[in-house]
Amino acid sequence: MGNFLEAPYLLEAVVVVLGLALLMLEAFLPKADKRLVAYIALFGLAGVLVASFNMKAPENLEHSFWSFYATDNLAFFYKNIAVLATMLVIVMAIEYTPVLEKYVSQGSKQGGLGEFFCLPVFVCAGLMWMASAKEFITIFVSLETVTISFYVLVAYMRRNVGSLEAGVKYLILGALSTGFFVYGVTWVFGLTGETHLEKIGIALQGLEGSDSAVLFAFTLILVGLGFKVAAVPFHVWVPDVYQGAPTPVTAFLSVGSKAAGFIVATRILQPFLEMERLHSSFTTILVIVTGATILFGNFAAIPQTNFKRLLAYSSISHAGFLLLALTCTPDQFQLTPGQVVAFYLATYLLMTMLCFLVLTIVRRSTESDEIAAFSGLHRRSPFLAFALLIGVISLAGVPLTAGFLGKFFVFTLAIDSGRWILLAFAVVGAASGFYYYLKVARAMYWEEPTELAAIEISPLARLALLLLIIATIVFGVYPAPILGLLTN
């Protein structure tokens, strides 16, 4: 296994140990301020993020361990996304403490809040392991680590009916998707006798007959993954769960769960799509799902009046754009679909977190997630209004923002591989995106506020917002650092 202390899996191990330490801290110091747990988590994860940039893939990959643990650029990139997303979620959770206290503690000060800061760390460990998983057993276990932690997080506000209902819906549909995914994996195992994706690819190439069984397995796995990434028609849980879950968790679901789904999809689809005989059937299924996702996500977002639900449909539509990249087989374009998806997810992380951070702060002072609550925000807090403006125009894909470049790469990829119909759908979708995203901007700048009290922002949140705004604009003009991490 080479040198024990320089191996990339230590990153995950450190995150797990951090989570366990936080849990112990929470249990043995019940009187301490729970935000202490959050700050330690934040520092620990920052350390992991720094360490991950210094971590190199081991040169000697002969040991069988490396056959189920990927150490390519993509894996490291997704690990960074996971850690960054978790850190931002914890910042958001600190801002969200008053709301949580109202629905969780009941009387005792900060009672039962500690776990809300520990669980994201475990989710992070699951996400990081998933980034490297290239074997069905590890994929399954890391996927479930993430999903089961999310069940708890979504239903965390146990005296809020909305949160509990969201939790039950996520639980039932999440478990259903697990059922489909596992059954699909079972059939793949039955057909090929393998659980390693690379060996499955080889076995599928040499498979004679049993086309329908392969298609059956592929469809089952696709259904399972479709639930995770919120693709139509497996998106039914998204709006309700996003609306009911605590806002930091919604942000985490939107970024973390989606990133997890797409890294798994990127790796799993590859051996199937390489199978020449059934390539066209697989692509047809993918294309239909993609088209439906883009159209539905964008059109259903138009009439929304609740900002969280709007972001839910926006999340579906972005899943559509990401799927579009996955259906492509590039001819000349220098980036692979996997790299384009990773780039898009990185930009999506920045702008979505920006929106949710503003939403969390505004929610605390207005007690509402409606778009109407943002009316005249620029009079109450010009900084927040500007931050949200950057967030929504980047989500819409206005040039000179990171969101534009993400869409630009996807569209170029689609042109390069000649997916003209899907491209037309995507253009229509992106155009309607302008309408519903800018609805929020209109409320902030052109409508009268219902109250004029200024909104206070904590220094930590202000710093996070500032960094996100800068990153969104800088990477929209100069994406080389991200691309450098991906291609190296």
Partner 1 sequence: MVTLNAYLLVSGLLFAIGFAGVLLRRNIIIIFMCLELMLSASNLSLVAFSRFNTVNGLPNYNGQILVFFIIAVAAAEVAVGLAIIVALFRARRTTHVEDMNSMKG
Partner 2 sequence: MLETYLPILMQLGVACGFAVSTLIVSVLLGKSGKTNPVKDSAYECGMLPIGEAQPRFSVKFYLVAMLFVLFDIEVVFMYPWAVVFKDLLVTSLLPVTLGMAGFVFILFIAYLYVLKKGALQWRD
Q: Contacting partner 2 (CB under 8 A), which of 3, 28, 280, 459?
A: 28
Instruction: Say if CB 42 and CB 90 are below 8 A apart.
Output: yes
Smallest separation, CB 365 to partner 1 (Å) = 23
- Nearest CA-CA partner of 175 in 249, 227, 136: 227
Residues near 273 by beta carbon (within 8 Å), at least 6 away in sequence: 279, 282, 283, 329
Please name which of 151, 146, 153 lies closest in space to residue 104, comparing C-alpha atoms: 153
Within 194-233, the residues that bind partner 1 by CB under 8 A are: 194-195
Residue 223: how many other CB atoms lie within 10 Å: 20
Question: Binding partner 1 by CB under 8 A: which of 9, 17, 33, 183?
Answer: 183
DSSP state of 417: T
CB half-sphere exposure, 316, CA atoms < 13 A: 33
Closer residue to partner 2 (CB): 23 or 164: 23
24 contacts: CB under 8 Å, gap ≥ 6: none
* Cα-only R_g, the chain: 22
- Residues from 67 through 106 that contact partner 1 (CB under 8 A): none
In the complex with partner 1, the residue whose CB is nearer, 50 or 172, is: 172
- Applying CB under 8 A, among 2, 9, 10, 23 the residue interacting with partner 2 is 23
Question: Minimum distance from CB of 21 to partner 2 (Å)?
Answer: 9
**Gap between the Cα atoms of 44 and 53, Å rounded:** 15
Tell me the CA distances in angstroms from 81 to 47, 451, 460, 464, 483, one per residue in order. Answer: 14, 37, 20, 15, 14
Q: Which is nearer to partner 1, 189 or 383 (CB)?
A: 189
Distance between CA atoms of residues 303 and 318, nearest Å: 18
Question: According to the binding rule CB under 8 A, does residue 370 interact with partner 1?
Answer: no
**With respect to partner 1, which residue has the nearer C-beta, 126 or 397?**
126
Under rule CB under 8 A, residue 36 binds partner 2: no
Nearest distance from C-beta of residue 409 to partner 2, angstroms: 41
Minimum Å gap between C-beta 175 and partner 1 is 4
User: Using CB under 8 A, which residues numbered 275 to 334 contact partner 1?
Assistant: 304-306, 309
Identified binder of partner 1 from the candidate list 131, 148, 269, 319, rule CB under 8 A: 148
From candidates 79, 169, 258, 419, binder to partner 1 by CB under 8 A: 169
Closest CA to 136 of 257, 221, 53, 26: 221
DSSP character for 455? P
Binding interface with partner 1 (CB under 8 A):
136-137, 140-141, 144, 148, 151-152, 155, 158-159, 161-162, 164-169, 171-172, 175-176, 178-180, 182-183, 185-187, 189-190, 193-195, 239-240, 243-244, 304-306, 309
Where does this chain bind partner 2 (CB under 8 A)?
Answer: 1, 16, 20, 23-24, 27-28
